[in-house]
Structure formats: C-alpha cells, structure tokens
Chain A
Amino acid sequence: MTILRSATTAPRSVTGLRSAQSKRAMITVLGWSVALVIFFPIFWMILTGFKTESAAIADPTLIFSPTLESYQAVQARSGYTRFALNSVAVAFGSTFFALLLAIPAAYSMAFLPTKRTKGTLLWMLSTKMLPPVGVLVPIYLIFRDVGLLDTRTGLIIIYTLMNLPIVVWMLYTFFKDMPKDILEAGRMDGASTFQEVFFLLLPLTLPGIASTGLLSIILSWNEAFWSLNLTSSKAAPLTAYIASFSSPEGLFWAKLSAASTMAIAPILILGWMTQKQMVRGLTFGAVK
C-alpha cells in the first residue's frame, strides 16, 4: 500500500500538488460566482413576489415581512390555469411534432449522408440567425388568412418550426455517435428501416432524445416573441400572462414578479429534476 501510494504521488512535487489544489479552488469559486450572478435576478424576482407593492419599489432589502398578497391579486385578476394549460399544450405539442419530423431527418443525415449533408445542417442552423421580427409581418398575415391567429395549433406550428433546426442538429450528433454496425446487424436480422429505428436506434439513443425533447420544451415554454404577437387571449401561454401585468395602468412589480414566478416555476422544477440529463445532452459530442 505504501509502495503504491509513493509510486503514484512521486512524480508530483508537493508544491505542484498545492498549486493544483489552489487552481481547483479558484475554478470552484469562479464557477459559483458566475452561477450566483446568473441566478440573482431569478432569486430577486421570487423575493419580490412575496413583497407588498410598496415594499417592492422601496429601497432593496432582504429583510421584509413576506406576504402572499401579490399571488392572491394575480390569481384573482386572471386565470393562471388557462395560460398554464396553453403553455403545456404548445410546449409539449411542438416538441412532439419537432421530434417526429427531426428523427427521420437526423437519421438520414447521420446514417445516409450525402455530399450536401453538412451544408444542409449549417443552412438549417443559419435560419436561427435571422431575427424573428424579420418574418413577423408575412407570418402574421398568413396566420390571419388561414385562421391560425390566437390558436394553440398556430403556436404549435410556429414553435415546431422554430425549434426544428436545433432539434435536428442535436439528434444528428446523438445518432452519429451510435455504432453503425448495430443498425447493420439489425438489417441483417431482417429489420426494415422503421423497425431499425424503433427497436434499435430509439432505445439506444433515448437519453439523447430525452434531453433534446427537454430543451425543446424549455425553449417553447420560454418563448415570448411569437406568443405575444400571434395570440391575444384564447391560446395565450404563460409568457403572455406575465406580459399582461405590465399594463397601461403602470408597472406593478410585486404582481409582475409573482406572475413570473408562477410562470417559470413548472419549467424550473422540470429543469432542476432533469439537470443531469440536460447537462449530459448539451455537452454530448463536445466532451468524450
């Protein structure tokens, strides 16, 4: 045992070990600082939600007597549930359709690539670089003419299209990582393309598909631009709900914060529960 330990630590000098330790400590401090900076606005928002309107606009303080007044007011004014259900419907609906379209697309790109596959992938991603407002007018007019304004279907369509490039891209990297031999073995065993995908590809890339789906749900849930412009009341999701609190009567910070907290709570909890999966999914391919 002693021999083993001295053998493993011998090449490192004591000072080298110490500098490695302090380096690690610095990285930890830095990581925590960045995380706190990112988290602070959310923390402040949650805090503000429990204040009275007057306390919310007073000098910032951490000590106050918490109240559910804003939550009651928010709940009294408009039905949170209706907005929440819309959010659930469009987030899950669009994710379902995005996966449905992206799985075959990513399959063909990963396993049957052509000369133009890389170009197609880049082109798909480049559509994300266009500011959405650039196509607002045509899309608004089309939606109006086909009667999709203020409908869940309309939002599901637009979110599906919005997330499709990133979903295809992510699935492509997951599929690419799958050994081709396994699919070929399936083909030798008599699997049709559909069976190959259903029995082999999907079960084996399920973690990747799950994290892609989660990301798509989060992106759809948090999307505000299209929901504000294409819905008014019937199909409005939670992002529109938050926005409704910055009304012409003025800004009510406590109520706005309470509404925002309620809007992001479900997705925050979902994200927190699945964070391991998410991190794995998002760093896939980058870290091997």
Chain B
Amino acid sequence: MATLQLHNITKRFGDTEVIKGINLEVNDREFVVFVGPSGCGKSTLMRMIAGLESATDGDILINGQRINDVGPADRGLAMVFQSYALYPHMTVEGNMGFSMRLAGVPKEERRAKVLEAAKILQLEPLLDRKPKALSGGQRQRVAIGRAIVRNPSIFLFDEPLSNLDAALRVQMRIELARLHDELDATMIYVTHDQIEAMTMADKIVVLHDGVVEQVGSPMALYHHPCNRFVAGFIGSPKMNFLPVTLTGVAPGGVGVRLPGGGERSIPVDGTHLEESATLELGVRPEHLVLDEQGPLSGEIKVLERLGGQTSLYVQMNDELITIMADGDVAYRVNDTVHFGFAPERAHLFGADGLALPSLQQHPLAGLTRHDNRGPGAPSEEPA
C-alpha cells in the first residue's frame, strides 16, 4: 500500500522558480510517468519526492503522512538513477546489499534477499562481478535490483533507459512493465521520451515549465489533449497545426474554413467562442488520409519510406505538414497530393492554446496499461 500526494509543491533556486505549485495524486500500485521536455522540472520534482532536494513550499505526503522533513532513506522509497550510480568499488552483491549492510542486517539474511532480487532480474551469475565488468543493460538491472532489495513502497526511476541503445531500451521497457506487474508496487518514472510514457504508464503527467499541463491515461492524452503543448508533445510524429477561420458554431460542432478553402465541422464544444476567434486546427499525421477529393493539398518536399509506412512532408502555404501514409504509396517528391481527415479525429485550439472540449469521448480514452490484459488474464483490480 503506497499512495503519494503532492500539495502545491514549489521549488525555487535563487530567484528562478522551477516548480510552480504542483498538485498531484499517485494511487497505490500505479505506474505514473512524468514526461516533458528537458528543463521542465520533472527530474527536480522526482528529486523532491526522493528527498534529495527540499521543496521550497507545499507538502509531500506518502500514505497520508507529511514527509517533507523526513530524510531520503526513511521515506521508504528507492530510486534508480539515470547514470545507474552503482558503487564502482563493490561487487554486484555488495551494491545490492549496501542498504542492508548500513542497516546492520546479518550477512546471511542479506545474501538471501540479494539472491531473491537477483533471481527476478536474472543477475545470479553476475553477483561477484564489479560494475565495470557489466554491460549497460546489466548495470541497469543491478541498479533496479538495488532498489528492489530495499522493498520500497514507491519506486522512483529517473530516466533509467536513456543511456541504453535503442534495441536494449525496448527490451528494458518490456522488463520494467513486467516488473511492475510482478512487484505490484507504486512506480514513478521520469522520462523525456513520450514513447516510454505511452507504453508503460497507467497515468501520464505532462510537465512544462514547472507546471502540470495535463494528467491522464496515455490514450486520454493522445485522443483528448487539453492544450496545444500536450497535443504536440504526445504522439510521434508530432501533430500538425493549421490556422483556420471560424465560420459558425452549431450544437453538433464548430464550423471552420480550411487554408485551401474547404469547410468542415469539427465536433467540439464551441459555445464560448467569440465570432472573431482565431483558431488552430490540429490533426495527427496518422489521421491525415490521402484522398483525391480531400479539402487540403500541397507539394511533397520530402518522402521517407519506412517500409510499412511512408512519411510525406508536404508544403502547404507556410506550413510543412507531415502525413503518415501507407508504405506502398506511389508518390514522389514534388508531386502534388490531396488529403483530408475525419472531423472527429481533429482538434481545435483557441488563441490561448487551450483545446476546445471534444463532444465525443474516445472509447479507449479511459484505458490504462492494466486494462490491456484480456479478460482471461488475472487482474487484481476490477476494471
């Protein structure tokens, strides 16, 4: 059982405020990912939770207890660092058992616990090695093992995969997700990689400039971003943005005129819109479809064939639009393409960058990673 609450957390370094009043709730056994561009304050926030940095203002509560003034070791947390931060002069066993050695745990008991964790992580044959004799992935696993033996109530991961190569990263991502299921622990994970966030999180917290932009399940963030920043940050390749003009507001949606002259009604709530409002249309590259009758058109500037898919970079007025098309499209550079989109896949943003609320909730928006298990799979929580 471990929950975490952040109440109005702020952090100032001198005159610079890096965390600007963050409120957040992390539920028991949840996998929460803090994601955002570098410098958004996500690592600082995690360090404050860990106790390595003090909060300038606000309360941090674990299981309802305020722990602002509790030392890092006594918060019942364990942290996996980006650099692994293994103790280079100790063996794998020494590294994993260090916390117990400090706590005065007898040697046999220590060894038993280390072996137990080593088994989960397949580290048994490496226990006598020093970190320098390990590969990057093995070091990462030792760092995780060091966290596991502490039996923490909450695991903290600070960009743990960013030093690994692409293939290993995918593998570790799967292992971490498996580990979360196996340990049934609350985990908080910091990353700048939205793919890691999308694949592992039950709940994503998007941070930008020290504030929480949006909290939600991966699919909710993908389908219903609350503002232009989240829309652009979540999803790869990035969402396309086009300036559009308002033509009218009806109960079924907001009518807009597209740059090419065509008109569409987007099913969003525009009741508070003023007549002269400037709007921006957002459509993800994978939601743009090549269509001879489509209302949009432009000239292909770059064409990337990925095999199964082809990325088209299309110049449309001043904008470079990305389209994810089928792998076998026959287009070439400098060809003119026509394309369109399904209105319910489009987003509208006001001048303040906020998204107009969607009239239809996407059916998968409430899903978490746990819900991806089929009905036959064991589940500790009813959906």
Q: Which A residues form the contact surface with B (CB < 8 A)? A: 179, 181-182, 184-191, 195, 199-200, 203-204
Contacts and interface: CB of A to CB of B under 8 A. Distances in A.
B133 interface: no
B87 A182 contact: yes
Given A185-B79, A185-B81, A191 B87 contact: no
Nearest to B73: A190
A204 B88 contact: yes
Contacts of A195: 102
B52 to A, nearest CB: 5
B85 A184 contact: yes
B52 A187 contact: yes
Contact of A186 (B78, B88, B98): B98
B102 A184 contact: no
Contacts of B81: 181, 184-185
Contacts of B87: 182, 185-186, 200, 204
Contacts of B78: 188
Interface of B: 50, 52, 71-74, 77-79, 81-83, 85-89, 98-99, 102-103, 146, 150
B208 to A, nearest CB: 25
A200 B89 CA distance: 8
Contacts of A204: 87-89
B93 to A, nearest CB: 14
A203 B73 contact: no
Given A188-B79, A189-B98, A191-B73, A203 B85 contact: no
Closest 3 CB pairs of A and B: A190-B73, A181-B85, A189-B99
Given A184-B52, A195-B102, A189 B73 contact: yes
Contacts of A190: 73-74, 99, 102-103
B235 to A, nearest CB: 32
B76 to A, nearest CB: 11
28 contacts: A179-B83, A181-B81, A181-B85, A182-B85, A182-B86, A182-B87, A184-B52, A184-B72, A184-B81, A184-B85, A185-B85, A185-B86, A185-B146, A187-B72, A187-B73, A188-B50, A188-B72, A188-B77, A188-B78, A189-B98, A189-B102, A190-B74, A190-B99, A190-B103, A195-B102, A199-B98, A203-B89, A204-B87
Interface centre among A185, A190, A203, A204, by most B CB within 10 Å?
A185
A186 to B, nearest CB: 7
A181 B72 CA distance: 14
Nearest to B156: A188
A182 B71 CA distance: 17
Given A188-B52, A190-B103, A181 B73 contact: no
Nearest to B89: A203
A179 B102 contact: no
B83 A181 contact: yes
A192 to B, nearest CB: 8
A185 B78 CA distance: 9
A200 B72 CA distance: 17
Contacts of A189: 73, 98-99, 102, 146, 150
A10 to B, nearest CB: 30
Contacts of A200: 87
Contacts of A181: 81-83, 85
Nearest to B53: A184
A240 B71 CA distance: 54
A203 B82 CA distance: 22
B75 to A, nearest CB: 9
Contacts of B103: 190
Given A184-B52, A185-B79, A191 B102 contact: yes
